[in-house]
Structure 1
Amino acid sequence: MTRVEFYFNVPDKFAKTVELCEKALAKGRQLTIYTQNDAMSSEMQNLLWSHSASSFLANSHVNEAHSQFSPIVIDAQGENLLQDDVLINLQTAQPLFFSRFRYLVELVGSDEADKAAARVRFRFYKDRGYDIKSTDAAAI
């Protein structure tokens, strides 16, 4: 069953995504970042490539020819999933395909609209019997 973890009070979802990707790659994990649109995908890709002056986090858009070899795949559509290890959801709704992944990460900011959407996702997972871990990013 998919493990679900919510990070609440995340001040910068992109920075947290980069941090989580770096930690997951160090453990040999593969990731899919599910973005809201192509513009967000491009912004996320740029951040991953330039997150540090001395290194980068190899990634690709799902529609690029070499994406099947990339440890991080960025996708706004969810129609051509290439792996099933870690999914980071940056959309406001739960991904319909989340259960094929081993681990789902939900990031929640501090504005009320984002919190309200996260509550709906939280209830969705909880009502279906998923055990949910909640982490307050402000307390880390």
Structure 2
Amino acid sequence: MTRVEFFFNVENKALQVADLGSRAVGKGRRLMVYMGSQQAAEQLGNFLWSNPPIGFLPHCHATHPRAAETPLIIDWRSESLPHDDILINLQSQHPPFFSRFRRLIEIVGLDETDKAEARERYRFYRDRGYEIRTFDANGAALS
């Protein structure tokens, strides 16, 4: 069953993705970042060219010819996903395909609308029997 984790009160979601991505890729894991739009995906991709500052996270879209061998995929579409390791959701709704992944990470910002949408996703996963772990922005466990 997919392991679900929420990171709450995140001031900068792109920075949180870079941090989680660096740690996961360093351990040989693969990530899919599910974005709300093509523009948002491109903005995150541009951000990752210089973050982390002393490293580089290889990334591309799911339809790129090298997607199967690239550790971090950033996309807004759900077709042709090249792996099923870690999914980071940056959309306001739950990803309809999340259960194919080993781990799902929800990143929740400071905005009240974002928090309300996250509570809905939390209830969705909880009501379906998924075990949920919660963390604050610095990674300290809340539950």
Normalised by the length of structure 2, the TM-score is 0.93
2:16 corresponds in structure 1 to 16
- Partner secondary structure for residue 87 of structure 1: strand
- Structure 2 distance, partners of 1:52, 1:11, is 16
**Separation of aligned partners in 2, 1:40 and 1:105:** 18
Per-residue CA deviations over 1:82-111 (Å, capped at 9, x if unaligned) read 100000000000000000000000001111
Q: What does residue 137 of structure 1 align with?
A: 137
Query: Is the CA contact 1:5–1:132 (under 8 Å) kept in the aligned structure 2?
Result: yes
> What is the letter of the counterpart of residue 20 of structure 1?
L
Going from structure 1 to structure 2, the CA distance change for 1:85 and 1:139 (only over 3 Å counts) comes to closer
Mark the runs of 5 or more structure 2 residues left unpaired by the alignment.
none
TM superposition score normalised by structure 1 = 0.95
Q: How far apart in 2 are the matches of 1:12 and 1:88?
A: 14
Distance 2:106 2:53 in 1: 28
Letter in 1 for 2:71: P
- Separation in 2, partners of 1:75, 1:67: 11
Partner residue of 2:84?
84
Matching residue of 1:95:
95
> What fraction of aligned residue pairs are identical, expressed as a percent?
46
SS of alignment partner, residue 33 of structure 2? strand
Instruction: Return the alpha-carbon distance in structure 2 between the equivalents of residues 63 and 93 of structure 1.
Output: 22
SS in 2 for 1:137: coil
- Count residues with an aligned counterpart: 140
One-letter code aligned to 1:56: F
Where does 1:1-140 land on structure 2 (aligned, <5 Å)? 1-137=1-137, 140=140
